[in-house]
Amino acid sequence: MNMPQSYETTVFDEGRTYGFHMFVIPKRSLGTSFANKNIGDFSKDINLTDPIDISAAYLAHALTALFSEPNPVPNIEPSTQLRAAFGTAGNRAEFNFAQQVAFAPIVPFETSPLTAEALASILVGGVAGAGAVGVGAKLGIVAFGVTTGPAILLAAAGGIVVVTLASSVGTELGKEVTAKVKKWMGVS
């Protein structure tokens, strides 16, 4: 019997200033209409606009880019602002925490049995063991009507991970991402 299941985890830095929320959907829990989709299909379904392809080496940069720029340029498109934040991520205060999240084994991921994995390991392992789910990682702005926000979508052989800021939990953005995860599982 296959019981669809997902995992969520929220992590914060020691000072509880920065945080990420991760939705994890094991490949076995993807609904039949999503079981053979690739990262491009998932990107379109979550309305990830103008996505940036991310390698494991730049995962910490992508995570840092999710945080608002300290001095954003006014009147600039969100996707352009996100690209600029990605380019300057290594110089930002959030970068050290983002590196820990990218490379520390903290993400609940099914690799038989459930273990804690690093986001970068999930991505690299996904490329090496590519299965039905097309692999890769993308950074972009998710859009659900007027509700938008930055997110990372990671697809690996073992499943899907969606990363948002911890501050999105309970907001319209968080609710929309949760609804999308349930749709991918075939339970909504």
pLDDT score recorded for residue 187:
87
Is residue 107, in this structure, part of any structural domain at all? Answer: yes
Q: Could you give the CA distance from residue 165 to residue 19 in angstroms, rounded to a whole number?
A: 6
Alpha-carbon 163 to chain mean position: 3
Is residue 173, in this structure, part of any structural domain at all? Answer: yes
Name 135's Cβ contacts closer than 8 Å, sequence gap at least 6. Answer: 38, 39, 123, 126, 127, 155, 156, 157
Is residue 171, in this structure, part of any structural domain at all? Answer: yes
Cis status of the peptide bond prior to 113, with omega within 30 of 0: yes
Q: What percent of the chain has pLDDT over 70?
A: 94
Structural domain including 149 reads 7-185
Of 123 and 64, the structure prediction assigns the larger pLDDT to 64
pLDDT mean across residues, the chain: 88
pLDDT score recorded for residue 126:
54
Is residue 19, in this structure, part of any structural domain at all? Answer: yes
pLDDT band at 134 (very low <50, low <70, confident <90, very high): low
User: Can you give the pTM of this predicted structure?
Assistant: 0.90
Is residue 2, in this structure, part of any structural domain at all? Answer: no
Structurally, the chain folds into a number of domains equal to 1
Is residue 139, in this structure, part of any structural domain at all? Answer: yes
Q: What are 43's two structure tokens?
A: 């990107």
Is residue 1, in this structure, part of any structural domain at all? Answer: no
Q: Could you give the CA distance from residue 33 to residue 186 in angstroms, rounded to a whole number?
A: 8
pLDDT score recorded for residue 77:
86
Of 82 and 113, the structure prediction assigns the larger pLDDT to 82
Is residue 117, in this structure, part of any structural domain at all? Answer: yes
Is the pLDDT reported for residue 120 higher than 70?
yes
